[in-house]
Amino acid sequence: MAVALLIFIALILIRVPISLVLGITSISYILMGGNLTLLTTAPQRLYSGLESYGLLAIPLFMLAGELMNSGGITTRLVQFAKGFVGHFRGGLTYVNVVANMFLAAIIGSATAQIAMMSRVMVPSMEKEGYKREFAAATTAAAGLLGPIIPPSMMFIIYSVGSGASIGKMFLAGIVPGLILGLSFIVLIAIIGYRQSLPKSEKMSAKDRLNATVRVLPALLVPGIMIWGILSGVFTPTESAAIANLIALIVGFFFYRELSFKQIPGIILNTAITTATVTLLVAMANLFGWVLAFERIPQLIAESMVQLTSSPFMFLLLVNLFLLLVGMAFDGIAALIILVPIFTPILPQFGIDPIHFGVIICLNLTIGLLTPPVGAGLFIASSIANVKLEQLLKAIWPYLLASLITLLLVTYLPDLVMWIPRMGGQ
C-alpha cells in the first residue's frame, strides 16, 4: 500500500489528470498485491460505478446548459442584472455575481460557469476600469454558486453515493446558494466603498423593463424545474429532460439564436464533458473499492468516532479534513471516495444526510479556488490571462466569505432543511 501511495503522490505532483491518477494507482495496487481475483473484478467495478439512474441527470443538465448558452441566455442575464445593479459603485461586479446566480440555476457546474463567464465578464470589467486580476477573481468566486444552487452535478453524485433524495438535495441548496451569493455582494459593497470601484450609467426605466421582458423566457427553465421538483410533478432526472425541451423552444422560437446547424456541436460538447465526468466517476469508484478492501474508510470512521462524541466537534473536524482534501483532490473525485466513509457515521451524531450533503459539497467546491489542484483558479487564470500569484492575492476575500457561509450552513441546519421540509420531498 505504501508503494501505491507514493505512485499516487507522484502522479498528482506531475499534474496527471485525476481520473487517470485514481485508475493507475488502483491497478498498480492490485498488480503489486498479486491478487488476480481483484484484477478480473476491476472492470465490473468500473461499470457498477456508472450503473445508476440518478447519473442520467448529469448529461441532461449539461445539454440544457449548452442549449441555453447557445440560445443567447448569457447576454440577456447579464443585461438584466446590469439594468438593476450596474449603476451602483462596483456595478459590473454585482452584475457578475447576480448573473452567475441565474446561470447556476441552469448549468450546475462551477468549472463550466467559470470558463463561460471569464470570457464574457473579465474583458467587460477591464474595459470599464476594473483591474484584470480583480475581475478574474470575482468571476472565479461567483462560479462557486454553480454546484450549490440547483441543479447541481455534485448534489446528484452525492445522492447516488449516499442514497439521499436528489429532489431534497436540490431544494436544500437554494438557501445556502443565496447566502453565498449575498455574502459576495456584501463583500463587493465593502471593497467598492474602500477602493472606489467604477460604476456604469443608470439604465432608464424603459430599458430596465425591456431587459426584464427579454429575460423572462430564459427564467422559465429554472422556474419550471424548481416548481416541478417542489410540487412532485416530476423527478429531478425528469426535470432535466423538461429543461432541455424548454431550452430548445426558447432558443428556437423566442430568442431565435439557436439553429439546427449548432445542434451537432452542442451534442459533441455535451458528450465530451459527460465523458470526462463519467470516466472520473468510474475511476473513483474503483479507487474507493481498493480503499474499502484495505479497510481505510472504516479506520478513518473509527478514528473520528474515538476523537469525539460531540456533533459540533465532529462537523468541525470533518470540515477541516475536507478543506485539506479539497486542496489536493478534484471535488467530484473526493466526493465519490469520501461519501461511503462518512455516511455510515452520521446517525451516531444525529446529522441529517441532506444537511451533511450540502456541507460536503460546499466545502469541496471551495477547493476549486485553493491550490495546488484548484481547477477554477487555473481556468480563470488561463482564460483571463492573469498570473496565478496575482489571482490568489485578489481572491482571498472571496474565500473568506465562502468559509463564513460554510460555518453558517454547518451549524445552522435549519437554513439548509427549511425548504426540503416545506416541500415534503
pLDDT tens digits, 351-407: 999 999 999 999 999 988 887 667 778 778 877 888 878 888 899 999 999 999 999
What average pLDDT does range 192-216 have in this prediction?
82
Do 30 and 3 fall within a single domain?
yes
Considering 63-67, 171-175, 407-411, the range whose residues carry the highest mean pLDDT is 407-411
Dump pLDDT digits (tens) for 43-77: 887 877 677 666 777 788 778 777 877 887 767 87
Residues above pLDDT 90, as percent of the chain: 18
Dump pLDDT digits (tens) for 92-148: 888 888 888 877 776 667 777 787 778 778 888 888 888 899 999 999 999 889 889
Do 139 and 200 fall within a single domain?
yes
Do 39 and 57 fall within a single domain?
no
Q: Which three cell numbers stand for residue 157?
A: 453524485
Do 123 and 272 fall within a single domain?
yes
Rg (CA), the chain: 22
Q: Which helix (H) or strand (E) holds 131?
A: none
Instruction: Pick the range with the lowest mean pLDDT from 34-38, 255-259, 280-284.
Output: 34-38
Measure the CA dihedral 388/389/395/399, to 10°. 100
**What does pTM read for this prediction?**
0.77
Sequence-ordered list of residues with C-beta below 8 angstroms from that of 208, at least 6 positions apart, any chain: 83, 84
User: How many separate domains does the chain show?
Assistant: 2
Do 125 and 5 fall within a single domain?
no
Range of the domain at 23: 1-48
- What's the whole-number average pLDDT of the chain? 82
Do 146 and 23 fall within a single domain?
no
As a whole number of angstroms, the distance between CA 206 and CA 119 comes to 28
Sequence-ordered list of residues with C-beta below 8 angstroms from that of 229, at least 6 positions apart, any chain: 150, 167, 170, 171, 235, 236, 239, 423, 425
Q: Which pLDDT score is estimated for 411?
A: 95
Do 252 and 365 fall within a single domain?
yes
Confidence of residue 308 (pLDDT cuts 50, 70, 90): confident
As a whole number of angstroms, the distance between CA 96 and CA 78 comes to 7
Do 253 and 278 fall within a single domain?
yes
Do 64 and 29 fall within a single domain?
no
Do 184 and 198 fall within a single domain?
yes
380 CB neighbour count, 10 Å cutoff = 31
Q: Which pLDDT score is estimated for 107?
A: 67
Looking up cell 476594473, which residue turns up? Answer: 130
Measure the CA dihedral 123/128/66/180, to 10°. 110
As a whole number of angstroms, the distance between CA 160 and CA 140 comes to 27
Do 17 and 150 fall within a single domain?
no
Do 335 and 236 fall within a single domain?
yes
